[in-house]
Chains A and B, each alone.
Chain A
Amino acid sequence: MKSDSDKPCLLEIDNLYIEGFSEGIWHEIVNGVSLSLDRGEVLGLIGESGAGKSTIGIAAMGYCKAGCKILPGSSIQFDGIELTTASEDEKRRLRGARIAYVAQSAAAAFNPAHKLIDQFSESVVQHGVGSREQAYADAKELYSKIKMPEPDTIGFRYPHQVSGGQLQRAMTAMALSCRPDLIIFDEPTTALDVTTQIEVLATIRDIVEDFNTAAIYISHDLAVVAQMADRIMVLRYGNLVEEAQTRAMLANPREDYTKSLWAVRTFKKTVSHHDPSSDPLIRINNVCATYPKAPKPVLTDVDFEIYRGETVAIVGESGSGKSTAARVITGLLPPTQGTVVFEGDELPPDYHNRSTSELQKIQMIYQMADTAINPRHKIRKIVGRPLSFYLNMDGDERNRRLNELMEMIEMDPKQFLDRYPEELSGGQKQRICIARALAANPSFIICDEITSALDQLVAEGILRLLDRLQKELSLAYMFITHDLATVRAIADRIVVMLEGRIVEQGFKTEVLEPPHHEYTELLLSSVPEMNPDWMDNIMAQRSEQKGLQAAGN
């Protein structure tokens, strides 16, 4: 787009040090990372949370978050402009116009009070690239290019009037509004369902290729980055671990840490088949449920059972009703029709009417451990409360049991019992949630997306822990997730849900092996694979099928 300068690199970051201030001291977030990016090249930044990848991403715009500072000696050169010393004015002229940013949560990044197309035009007009009318026309063209439905009118909707995937694509289009040289994608698909993710990924890649834009693609998901990036950098604790061309790195990772990232998907529990003659632990009989004021039912004729000691995974996209099923079982949402039978007895539909022992037997673990444990309680109180509440334990007996529970979840009781949740890492908090559930001596635990907020290595640890506890205590799990890798790892049986109905259920081997139900097929094929050609193949396949269908019509 811009002048073909003879400088080889578009972005050159040299020896970048960034420090952050928290709890009264400065500590390092990024330790001397250097990178360079050519025009039209896509660089993938990979790492777990806390690796500093987002911090590097926004530093490429010469920005760092409040409470952070770029140390002197660091250099960030964008097309010959030194961003560490540039004035705010200079940087403001670059941002949006020549460097654009696509955030993880489009829902939070759009201003809910303005129409999409007005937000698209804002930077165009601000930077003097064109008039509002030109921007409108350009937006419509881009919307049709990225295959948004009704490209001529969709821009006139407000952010809440389009779906999450569409919003993320609208944001990608918005980043392009001034035809920047560089776009920074910060986990743009992490919050999306797999079936939506693949569409957004395809959009991003088309756009980057068509406009020859350079991009930094930040993600924790290797398989995604493998589709997008020409080159990958692996980061850990603010240090560069390894850097290589995508294919070379996938084929032959050198560092142990990189290999461990690959190895994550190796855990697989041995499938246990329940005794067919035994009675199910819990049976959900033809349940229908509706939220108050909702136009249509969220669950329709949902019918499945779970046996002692087995794990049933409930799979589906957001809005498929899988979490609602959990709410019906726990009694938070009484069904309009159907019953829940637990250990042979029908449970009262509303949890208010359930007895303490009925409540005790069914425990729940939440997706966000942060909000599932009271930040003002010590671990001792969080885990200890079910002990005194259900089992009337106190004093030494309670302390002994607390120690036992902490050892079960592989955390040192001496070190952790008197801490507050904020002094724990995400994975540790989730373990505390597990301990709290175990403290009640349940026979059935509902796990609602419990690993989706965690890094892969940490999530793997949680899955192994749950598997071990299942064997020891013969627990039954209902595992709600949209992540099929998790399903492969932990499930015995699978229930696939779509729009509040069960589309397919059966043993893992049956559901995951062909022939699939049409929707299961779509779900399975949308899970990114660790193969750089995966997306090309799948997109080609799908357009072929569409072509066939169109021809058939």
Chain B
Amino acid sequence: MNTQSTSLFSAPRLGRALRILGEAPLSAKFGLLVIATYIFVALFAPWISPFGESEIVGKKFLPWNDQFLLGTDHLGRDMLTRVLYGARNTVGIALLTTILAFLLGGILGILAAILGGWLDQLMSRIVDVFMAIPALIFAMLLLSIFGTSILNLIVIMSVIDATRIYRIARAVSLNVVVMDYIEAARLRGEKLAWITVQEILPNISAPLAAEFGLRFCFVFLTISALSFLGLGIQPPIADWGSMVRQTAILITYGDYTPLIPAFAIALLTVAVNFIIDWFLHKSSGLKDEV
């Protein structure tokens, strides 16, 4: 924005960020640690995993042993390798989907709040129609129509989730739009883009950020569910949801292996929620966050 504010990104700000982190409750620290681990694994999967993602390395359904720490799956691929790659695929796709959903739903929601009138009515009613259809069934329907590519999966999921975000963004923006500073900006002659990005967005970022964490979990679980049902991420790409399905038969034999990708899903969900709780607590109680 200007020359003086850049200096603020230096040491003191970093120090403050570290201090806030230090004051975080144990649950939030745990959540951060888990997420950091997932990100690390997702980024470096090819280097830390012992085999290739879809490489057939042994017999089917081998038990846990020294060579294959978590055994092999129904095609003879190393489970550990696939769990590590799963972080990259499942989490990466969920993250991309959530970001797209927020861009779409968030911007339209804010615009609906600013402009109001028939545009707001039109968009809100379309969203109502979308929301009347159960998300998972709607996603399955659309995936069956358009085919199950990763691109389709991301687009369809983000459109469906954007409807939820649209409602929240519109609702919180409506509270901000009535403020005098918005009126002042309008009377100044500001363009729509400035009012959206500069005046409204900073004031709704806290609830939106909390919603982002929550929405990420939902998307993530939905993708896993879709994969489990065979409509999500397609083989041979490693993905936790479909891994549970592919090895589900082992449960009958008292083997824990299918629970490991399920546990990976559960752990991430819990970790993200810990952080959301902390974030919500901070933004509601203290006012000094930037």
Residues of chain A at the chain B interface (Cβ within 8 Å): 23-24, 330-332, 351, 354, 356, 359-360, 364, 366, 368, 371-378, 380-381, 384-386, 389-390, 394-395, 398-399, 418, 422, 436, 440
B199 touches A374 (CB 8 A): yes
Q: Are A330 and B179 also in contact (CB < 8 A) when A374-B203, A418-B4, A422-B287 are?
A: no
For residue A266, give the distance in angstroms from its CB to the closest CB of chain B. Answer: 31
| Contact assessment for A371 and B179 in the assembled complex, using a CB-CB cutoff below 8 Å | yes
Separation of A371 and B199 alpha carbons in the complex (Å)? 12
A sample of 11 more A-B contacts (CB under 8 A), given A376-B202, A418-B4, is A23-B286, A23-B287, A24-B286, A331-B187, A332-B183, A332-B187, A360-B189, A364-B184, A399-B4, A422-B287, A440-B188
How many chain B residues touch the partner (CB < 8 A)?
Answer: 23
B2 adjacent to chain A (CB < 8 Å): yes
Interface check B129, CB cutoff 8 A: no
Question: Which residues of the partner chain A approach B255 to less than 8 Å between Cβ atoms?
Answer: none
Q: How far is the CA of A374 from the CA of B180 in the complex (A)?
A: 9
Task: Find chain A residues with CB under 8 A from B202 CB.
Answer: 374, 376-377
B186 x A351 contact (CB < 8 A): yes
Residues of A within 8 A of B287 (CB): 23, 422
Q: What 1/0 mask marks residues of chain B from 177 to 205 whose CB sits below 8 Å from any chain A CB? A: 00111011011111000000011001100
22 examples of A-B residue contacts, CB within 8 angstroms: A23-B286, A23-B287, A330-B187, A331-B187, A356-B189, A359-B187, A360-B189, A366-B180, A371-B179, A371-B180, A371-B181, A372-B180, A374-B199, A374-B203, A380-B4, A385-B188, A389-B190, A395-B2, A395-B3, A398-B2, A418-B4, A418-B5
* CB atoms of B188 and A386 under 8 A apart: yes
Kindly provide the distance from the CB of B181 to the nearest chain A CB, expressed in whole angstroms: 5
Residue B288 interfacial (CB < 8 Å): yes
Q: Among the interface residues A373, A374, A418, which one has the most CB atoms of the partner chain B within 10 A? A: A374
Taking CB atoms, residues of chain B closer than 8 Å to A359 are: 187-189
Q: CA A440 – CA B185 in complex, angstroms?
A: 12
Assembly CA distance A380 to B8 (angstroms): 14
B1 at the interface (CB under 8 A from A): yes
In the bound complex, residues from chain B placing their C-beta under 8 Å from that of A24 are 286
Do residues A368 and B1 form an inter-chain contact, with CB atoms below 8 A? no
- Give the complex CA separation of A366 and B180 in angstroms: 7
Closest B residue to A373 by beta carbon equals B181
Which A residue's beta carbon lies closest to that of B23?
A24
CB closest residue in chain B, given A355:
B189
| Measured CA separation A23–B289 after assembly (Å) | 11
Task: Out of A356, A372, A398, name the residue touching B181 (CB < 8 Å).
Answer: A372
Q: Chain B's nearest CB lies how many Å from the CB of A9?
A: 40
Using known A-B contacts A380-B2, A418-B4, determine if residue A374 contacts B188 with beta carbons closer than 8 Å: no
Which residues of chain B are within 8 angstroms of A354 by Cβ–Cβ distance? Answer: 189
Q: Which residue of B lies closest to A354 (CB)?
A: B189
Question: Nearest 4 CB-CB pairs, A to B?
Answer: A376-B202, A372-B180, A374-B181, A371-B180
B188 close to A381 (CB less than 8 A) = no
Chain B residues with Cβ below 8 Å from A378 are: 5
Q: A395 to chain B: which residues have CB within 8 Å? A: 2-3
Q: CA separation between A374 and B200, bound complex, in Å?
A: 9
Choose from B1, B187, B199 the contact partner of A364 (Cβ within 8 Å). B187
Closest B residue by C-beta to A374: B181
In the bound assembly, the distance between CA atoms of A372 and B188 in angstroms comes to: 13
**Within the assembled complex, what's the spacing in Å between the Cα atoms of A418 and B290?**
12
Interchain CA distance A364-B186 in the complex, whole Å: 12
Query: B184 — which chain A residues lie within 8 A by C-beta?
Result: 364, 366, 372, 436
Inter-chain contacts of B181 with A (CB < 8 A): 371-374
Cα separation A133 to B287 with both chains bound (whole Å): 49
Across the interface, name the chain A residue whose C-beta is closest to B204: A376
Asked if A375 and B189 sit within 8 Å, CB to CB, the answer is: no
A359, closest chain B residue (CB) = B189
Q: What is the CA–CA distance of A374 and B5 in the complex, to the nearest angstrom?
A: 18
Interchain CA distance A525-B26 in the complex, whole Å? 64
Residues 154-196 of chain B, each 1 if its beta carbon lies under 8 Å from chain A, else 0? 0000000000000000000000000111011011111000000
In the assembly, what is the distance between CA of A85 and CA of B44, in Å? Answer: 62
Q: How far is the CA of A360 from the CA of B184 in the complex (A)?
A: 11
Cα(A364)–Cα(B189), bound, Å: 13
Contact residues in B for A381 (Cβ distance below 8 Å): 1
Q: How far does the alpha carbon of A390 sit from the alpha carbon of B187 in the complex, in Å?
A: 12
Q: Is the CB of B4 within 8 A of A368?
A: no
Give the Cβ gap from B189 to chain A, nearest Cβ, in Å. Answer: 5
CB-defined contacts of A375 to chain B, threshold 8 Å? 203
- CB contact between B180 and one of A368, A380, A399 (< 8 Å): that residue: A368
Residue in A closest to B176 when the chains form the complex, CB atoms: A374
Q: Given A371-B180, A418-B4, do A23 and B288 touch, yes or no (CB 8 Å)?
A: yes
Point out the residues of chain B lying under 8 angstroms from A360, CB to CB: 189
For the complex, what is the distance from the CA of A360 to the CA of B179, rounded to whole Å? 20
Contacts of B203 in A (CB 8 A): 374-376
A431 nearest CB across to chain B (Å) = 15
Residue from A354, A371, A380, A395 with most neighbouring chain B CB atoms (10 Å): A371
Question: Could you tell me which residues of chain B, from 1 to 35, have a CB within 8 Å of some CB in chain A?
Answer: 1-5, 8
B286 / chain A contacts, CB cutoff of 8 Å: 23-24
Complex: A440 Cα to B184 Cα, angstroms: 12
| CB contact list, B247-264 vs A, under 8 A | none
B120 CB to closest chain A CB, in angstroms?
A: 16
Could you tell me the distance in whole angstroms from the C-beta of A32 to the nearest C-beta in chain B?
29
Q: How far is the CA of A356 from the CA of B286 in the complex (A)?
A: 39
CA distance A389 to B180 in the complex (A): 19
Q: Which chain B residues lie closer than 8 Å to A399 at the CB level? A: 2, 4
Across the interface, which residues of B come within 8 angstroms of A385, CB to CB? 188
CA distance A395 to B2 in the complex (A): 7
What's the least CB distance linking B23 to chain A, in Å? 10
From B3, B181, B187, residue with most partner A Cβ within 10 Å: B181
Closest CB in chain A relative to B150 CB, distance in Å: 37
Per the bound structure, the CA–CA distance linking A359 and B184 in Å amounts to 11
Report the Cα distance A371→B203, complex, angstroms. 12
CB proximity of A389 to chain B, nearest CB, Å: 6
Nearest CB of chain B from residue A396's CB, rounded to whole Å: 9
A366 to B178, CA, bound (A): 13
- On chain A, the residues within 8 Å of B189 by CB distance are 351, 354, 356, 359-360, 389
Closest residue of B by beta carbon distance from A369:
B180
CA distance A390 to B183 in the complex (A): 17
Specify which chain B residues have a CB less than 8 angstroms from the CB of A390 in the assembled complex: 188
Q: How far is the CA of A374 from the CA of B181 in the complex (A)?
A: 6
**CA A371 to CA B176, docked complex, whole Å:** 9
Closest to A363 in B: B187
Distance in angstroms from A206 CB to nearest chain B CB is 39
Shortest distance from the beta carbon of B141 to any chain A beta carbon, whole Å: 41
CA distance A389 to B188 in the complex (A): 8
CA distance A440 to B188 in the complex (A): 9
| Chain B residues within 8 Å of A368, by CB | 180
- Please, how many angstroms separate the alpha-carbon atoms of A366 and B182 in the complex? 12
Shortest Cβ distance from A105 into chain B, in angstroms?
19
- Bound Cα distance from A511 to B203, whole angstroms: 45
Cα A446 to Cα B181 in complex, Å, equals 15
Chain A nearest Cβ from B25, distance in angstroms: 15
* Whole-angstrom distance between the Cβ of B175 and the nearest chain A Cβ: 11
Taken together as a complex, chains A and B put the C-alpha atoms of A24 and B181 apart, in Å, by 29
Q: Which residues of B contact A389 (CB under 8 A)?
A: 188-190
A423 vs B188: C-alpha distance in the bound complex, in angstroms? 25
Which of chain A's residues have a CB closer than 8 A to the CB of B3?
395
